[in-house]
Amino acid sequence: MILITMKRMAVAGALMLTIALVFASGAGRAWAQDSGSSSSGSSPSVSSTKVAEKDAPKPTEAYRLDFSINELEDGKKINSRQYSMNLTKNQPQEIKIGTRIPIENVNRQGETQYMDVGTNITGRLQVHNDQLELFVNAEMTNFAIPEQATGHESHPVIRQLKIGGSTLAVLGTPMVIGSADDPNSRRQFQVEVTMTKLR
């Protein structure tokens, strides 16, 4: 009787030892897998991916500005001139076209100085409060008396018009930056710009 009881106890002990070894082995494999996946670095966490995306440089965006300098009389367009420029943010660009006219220096007789007559347009884009702002300045000068354009007049009369302004950029829609009335006629001048994204 005692021998049977001891055999039963030995079998039960061996069974319990086997069960304990099985559980210990499974837990060890699970721990090894967890520690391997967290320390191997082969699978980056979501937070590290977001940080990498945030720190990555953003591609440069380029735009084209199409300008129209319109001349109107009694609300009807009678003349329009077109200009274009490409630019990126925070990089101002300029269009300048015209003629340098020699004129006599009124302060020093016999000396000649030069005056630029024509059209000058500058454009600039910048981001403010997550919005794209457009800044434009247009300056137009010409001879008030057309006959003086030959350059032989020592004291020509120059007519000058400056229009500048800023607005929130709207793609594909013509925007009037500014307008001005000619004090000597019933005409009005407008600076209009249409903005297109290139990339």
pLDDT tens, residue by residue, 91-112:
999 999 998 888 777 777 778 8
Choice between 109 and 34, residue whose per-residue pLDDT is larger: 109
Per-residue model confidence (pLDDT) at position 72: 95
User: Would you state the structure tokens that stand for residue 119, as one six-digit string?
Assistant: 């059209």
Instruction: Compute the mean pLDDT over every residue in the chain, rounded to the nearest whole number.
Output: 78
Torsions phi, psi of 48, nearest 5?
Answer: -65, -35
Give the integer Cα–Cα distance in Å for 84 and 67.
Answer: 6
How far is C-alpha 113 from the chain's CA centre? 40
Pair type for strands 112-128 and 158-168:
unpaired
- pLDDT band, residue 83 (cuts 50/70/90): very high
Mean pLDDT of 163-191: 91
Pair type for strands 112-128 and 93-104:
antiparallel
Residue 177, CB-side half-sphere exposure with 13 Å CA sphere? 28
Query: What tens digit of pLDDT does each residue of 36-54 get?
Result: 444 445 555 566 566 555 5
Query: What tens digit of pLDDT does each residue of 120-133 get?
Result: 999 999 988 888 99
Mean pLDDT of 67-77: 94
CA 163 to each of CA 30, 72, 175: distance values in angstroms, whole numbers, following the listed order: 74, 15, 14
Per-residue model confidence (pLDDT) at position 184: 79
Q: The whole model's pTM is what?
A: 0.64
3-state helix, strand, coil in the chain (%, to 5): 25, 50, 25
Per-residue model confidence (pLDDT) at position 57: 63
Give the integer Cα–Cα distance in Å for 74 and 128.
Answer: 38
Are 63 and 195 within 8 A, CB to CB? yes
Are 160 and 102 within 8 A, CB to CB? no
Give the integer Cα–Cα distance in Å for 136 and 192.
Answer: 10
Give the integer Cα–Cα distance in Å for 195 and 157.
Answer: 35
Q: Taking 80 as the threshold, does the pLDDT of residue 35 lie above it?
A: no
Closest CA to 136 of 106, 95, 108: 95
